[in-house]
């Protein structure tokens, strides 16, 4: 079996001022999967949305599993203009939110793109979300944005690439 | 720092030494009922399998995971939590191999998998797996995560993922990675 070191940092952004969105663009197609890690803050109740390649059409959907501390739930969002990567684990004013987002086989041109993420806020709730972008194009850019308000100064977003043998 | 930086990945590209290694990959050229990674090197501490799959014939069936070709149900335990889009549920198959959902068409709603097999070389304890898995087809799907146990202290040298019903579709892909400890 061949073996090669991977899980390579591609880019990191730390917000120097509040921002409504963060973009990673011109992403190399030389990996198999992308992993996007965020530790963010914002006004309480903010959802985080994800789009690819500048597509703002209703080509996204997701299935969500989460817990609020009292209730477990599942929800589905079809024909959306973005993947909603959280539901109960909202942003809040502390840096209590973290998420690891997996974007599988992002550079192939034969399948729709499936994402898997965990989104956590110990004070509010936890989520597991599977998302779909109904497009076979390789992903070259990723946008994370708030559904309202902004990410706070100091929020961090790191993108990694994993290359299969 | 600009709120929308438009960072050029290529200009920010860094080569660093990591402890995460690609070991092997299989992408199916024909529909196949089972995929095995065998002769897994003993040089890592943990393993991770990342996959994108669908069942060639059935929309929402599950796949099973076996270690060292041991298909004896009594040697496994699992518990899982899932969301169907309308309800959350939790269940166990009792003495059964780890499982997850296979997906619904490679071009319409493939399932993603991230499977962690911890301390796979340790001969003093049973082996535990955790997995995060799911698919969405814009109207159907599941998100799934589970905890799994193989009640055997042997070092793990092979990993098999099997479709109990139907087959994995063409272009389903499976990648095995090793994570080194200090």
Which three-class secondary structure state does DSSP give residue A7? coil
Q: Do A8 and B138 touch (CB under 8 A)?
A: no
Tokens of B69: 């070709």
Q: Do A13 and B10 touch (CB under 8 A)?
A: no
Indicate whether A40 belongs to any domain. Answer: yes
- Give yes or no for a contact between B96 and B109, defined as CB atoms under 8 angstroms apart: no
Indicate whether A134 belongs to any domain. Answer: yes
Identify which of B102, B110, B99, B119 has the alpha carbon closest to the alpha carbon of residue B45. B119
pLDDT at A105: 96
pLDDT at A3: 60
CA distance A101 to chain B (A): 11
pLDDT tens readout for residues B34-87 = 999 999 999 999 999 999 999 887 766 888 999 999 999 999 999 999 999 999
Indicate whether A64 belongs to any domain. Answer: yes
ipTM of the complex: 0.94
What count of CB pairs under 8 Å joins A to B? 220
- Give yes or no for a contact between A83 and A142, defined as CB atoms under 8 angstroms apart: no
Which three-class secondary structure state does DSSP give residue B11? helix
- Give yes or no for a contact between B152 and B127, defined as CB atoms under 8 angstroms apart: yes
pLDDT at B3: 36
CA distance B179 to chain A (A): 10
- Give yes or no for a contact between B152 and B67, defined as CB atoms under 8 angstroms apart: yes
Indicate whether A2 belongs to any domain. Answer: no
**pTM value > 0.90:** yes
**pLDDT 10s per residue in chain A (165 long)?**
446 789 999 999 999 999 999 999 999 999 999 999 999 999 888 999 999 999 999 999 999 999 999 999 999 999 999 999 998 888 988 888 999 999 999 999 999 999 999 999 988 999 999 999 999 999 999 999 999 999 999 999 999 999 998
The pLDDT mean for chain B works out to 87
Instruction: Name the DSSP letter for residue B155.
Output: P
* A19: containing domain: 8-139+146-162
- Chain B CB within 8 Å of residue A129 CB: yes
pLDDT at A4: 78
Please give the tally of structural domains in chain A.
Answer: 1
Tokens of B153: 């202290």
Indicate whether A1 belongs to any domain. Answer: no
Q: Do B7 and A115 touch (CB under 8 A)?
A: no
Tokens of B24: 């092997």
Q: Which chain A residues touch B36 with a CB distance below 8 Å?
A: none
Identify which of B10, B74, B30, B32 has the alpha carbon closest to the alpha carbon of residue B160. B32
Q: Cα separations (Å) of B123 from A58, A123, B48, B155, B177?
A: 51, 39, 19, 6, 20
Q: What is the DSSP string of A45-72?
A: TB-EEEEETT--SS-EEEEEEEE-SS-E
CA distance B178 to chain A (A): 9
| C-alpha–C-alpha distance, residues A136 and B157, integer Å | 35
| C-alpha–C-alpha distance, residues B47 and B23, integer Å | 9
Say how many Å lie between the first and final Cα of chain A, rounded. 9
Q: Do B23 and A3 touch (CB under 8 A)?
A: yes
- Give yes or no for a contact between B61 and B102, defined as CB atoms under 8 angstroms apart: yes
For chain B, the structural domain boundaries read: 18-179
- Considering only residues 29 to 88 of chain A, which have any Cβ-Cβ distance to chain B shorter than 8 Å? 32-33, 61-67, 72-76, 78-79
Indicate whether A71 belongs to any domain. Answer: yes
pLDDT at A2: 46
Tokens of B83: 């969301």
Q: Do B23 and A28 touch (CB under 8 A)?
A: no
- Considering only residues 41 to 70 of chain B, which have any Cβ-Cβ distance to chain A shorter than 8 Å? 41, 50-52
Tokens of B34: 């089972």
Q: Which stretches of chain B drop beneath a pLDDT of 70?
A: 1-17, 59-60
Domain B18-179 sits in CATH 1.10.3090:
no
| C-alpha–C-alpha distance, residues A84 and A60, integer Å | 9
Tokens of B15: 């080569």
Which residue of chain B is at minimal alpha-carbon distance from A131?
B136
pLDDT tens readout for residues A30-44 = 999 999 999 999 988
Indicate whether A37 belongs to any domain. Answer: yes
């Amino acid at each position: 079996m061949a073996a090669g070191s991977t899980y390579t940092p591609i880019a990191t952004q730390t917000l120097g001022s509040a921002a409504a969105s963060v973009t990673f663009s011109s992403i190399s197609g030389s990996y198999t999967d992308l992993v996007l890690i965020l530790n963010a803050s914002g006004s309480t109740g903010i959802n985080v949305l994800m789009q690819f390649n500048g597509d703002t059409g209703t080509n996204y959907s997701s299935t969500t599993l989460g817990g609020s501390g009292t209730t477990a739930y599942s929800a589905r969002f079809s024909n959306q203009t973005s993947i909603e990567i959280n539901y109960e684990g909202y942003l809040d004013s502390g840096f209590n939110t973290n998420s690891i987002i997996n974007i599988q086989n992002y550079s192939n041109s034969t399948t729709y793109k499936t994402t898997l993420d965990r989104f956590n806020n110990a004070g509010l709730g936890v989520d597991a979300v599977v998302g779909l972008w109904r497009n076979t194009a390789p992903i070259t850019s990723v946008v994370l944005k708030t559904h309202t308000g902004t990410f706070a100064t100091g929020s961090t977003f790191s993108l990694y690439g994993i290359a299969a043998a | 720092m600009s709120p929308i930086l438009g960072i050029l990945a290529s200009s920010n590209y860094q080569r660093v030494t990591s402890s995460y290694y690609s070991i092997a990959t299989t992408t199916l050229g024909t529909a196949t009922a089972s995929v095995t990674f065998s002769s897994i090197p003993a040089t890592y501490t943990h393993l991770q399998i990342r996959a994108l799959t669908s069942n060639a014939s059935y929309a929402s069936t599950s796949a099973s995971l076996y270690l060292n070709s041991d298909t004896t149900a009594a040697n496994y335990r699992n518990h899982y939590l899932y969301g169907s889009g309308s309800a959350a549920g939790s269940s166990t198959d009792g003495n059964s191999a780890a499982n997850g959902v296979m997906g619904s068409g490679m071009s319409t709603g493939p399932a993603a998998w991230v499977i962690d097999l911890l301390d796979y070389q340790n001969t003093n304890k049973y082996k535990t797996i955790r997995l995060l898995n799911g698919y969405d087809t814009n109207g159907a799907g599941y998100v799934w995560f589970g905890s799994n146990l193989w009640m055997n202290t042997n070092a793990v040298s092979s990993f098999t993922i099997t479709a109990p019903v139907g087959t994995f579709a063409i272009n389903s892909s499976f990648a095995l990675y090793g994570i080194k400890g200090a």
